[in-house]
Structure 1
Amino acid sequence: MSSPISPACARPEPALSRREAMAAGAAGLALAALPVPASAQVAAPPTIAELIARITEGSVPERGRISFDIPQLVENGNSVDVAIQVESPMTDADHVRWIHVIAEKNPFPDVARFHLSPRSGRADIRATLRLATSQKVVAIAALNSGGYVMADADIVVTLSACIDGG
């Protein structure tokens, strides 16, 4: 006596035949070989010169009149103390409008921007920065005369910060 095989015990049919699987694989390889449109390609990060030119609107900043105090060797990139001073009388006729800090290899290189006016009294900024890795950090000050001054420093970071992209 033989018993009929129940549908639950029957061997399932494969979802794809071998021929269909090979065709799907070949289509995937062909798709991967297509060129990526320029709009979808990841752009290279901007260079420090491009970042400075963007902030100064193409003007070349002068060196001098700005003191940029930042440690050259930092153990932890999560907390880097910085002091920036610009020589300025901070009067209506001669003052610093803003100070901008750039860290070229951070996920977001525009680290800080401090707005000043003659009422600030001094162009003296103290802050704590986060640095992703060893890199060049730049401080740029915009003067009310339309000029810019800058100072930079190469910083070595032994324990990086910003590794999560934020």
Structure 2
Amino acid sequence: MSSAISPRSRPSEPGLDRRSVLAGATAGLLVAALPARAATEPSPELAQLIARITEGAVPERARITLDIPALVENGNSVDTRILVESAMTEADHVRWIHLIAEKNPFPDMARFHLGPRAGRAEVATTLRLAASQTVTAVAALSGGGFVMTDADIVVTLSACIDGG
């Protein structure tokens, strides 16, 4: 009798099974497959949508943070937080924050109206994302300017897909 353990009966190491390794490798390939783009160059469609939202003004890439995971297993529920640096006083506050998901069936996802009484220019919500894409946050400031940021998100299981 042999005392060797066959490969099928070998106890698995905790946290390292074939499914975990394959999921990690797939996620790595998806991230590597994202098209490289400069952070200051949105797609033409996204640029047109931003111009419509800001009435032609070019938003500055500063003072705004979009906290969203870079890799999402399920596009049906993506926790998102947007924070704009603002004193939130009558003279200096955020008027609204707009969220855009360019590959969703309806890219204009949400618009949150704020004012000085909000205390903080911070919004947290849960999104549905149709596919891997860029999510953009644009905020309007009381002084007439706009700020924006974006993040590339890889979605492994898409949401917002019609069944018919």
Give the TM-score, by structure 2 length.
0.72
Distance 1:47 1:157 in 2: 21
SS in 2 for 1:62: coil
Distance 2:111 2:162 in 1: 23
Deviations 1:29-62 (A, max 9, x none): xxxxxxxxxxxxxxxxx71111111111111000
Q: 1:140 aligns with which of 129, 138, 141?
A: 138
Q: 1:62 aligns with which of 60, 63, 71?
A: 60
Q: 1:117 aligns with which of 98, 115, 119?
A: 115
- Which residue is 1:18 aligned to? none
- Which residue is 1:82 aligned to? 80
- Which residue is 1:41 aligned to? none
Residue identity opposite 1:95 in structure 2: H
SS in 2 for 1:145: coil
SS in 1 for 2:50: helix
Matched-pair identity in %? 76
Q: Where do residues 88-99 of structure 1 align in structure 2 (5 Å cutoff)?
A: 88-99=86-97
Distance 1:97 1:108 in 2: 23
Residue identity opposite 1:152 in structure 2: D
Cα displacement (A) at 1:145: 0.6
SS in 1 for 2:123: strand
SS in 1 for 2:111: strand
Divergent runs of 4+, >6 A = none
Residue identity opposite 2:142 in structure 1: N
Distance 1:127 1:141 in 2: 16
SS in 1 for 2:69: coil
Name structure 2 gaps, 5 residues minimum.
1-43
Q: Which has the larger radius of gyration?
A: 1
Distance 1:108 1:153 in 2: 18
Distance 1:51 1:79 in 2: 24
Name structure 1 gaps, 5 residues minimum.
1-45
RMSD (Å), alpha carbons = 1.1
Give the TM-score, by structure 1 length.
0.71
Cα displacement (A) at 1:132: 0.4
Q: Where do residues 1-166 of structure 1 align in structure 2 (5 Å cutoff)?
A: 47-164=45-162
Distance 2:65 2:47 in 1: 20
Residue identity opposite 2:121 in structure 1: A
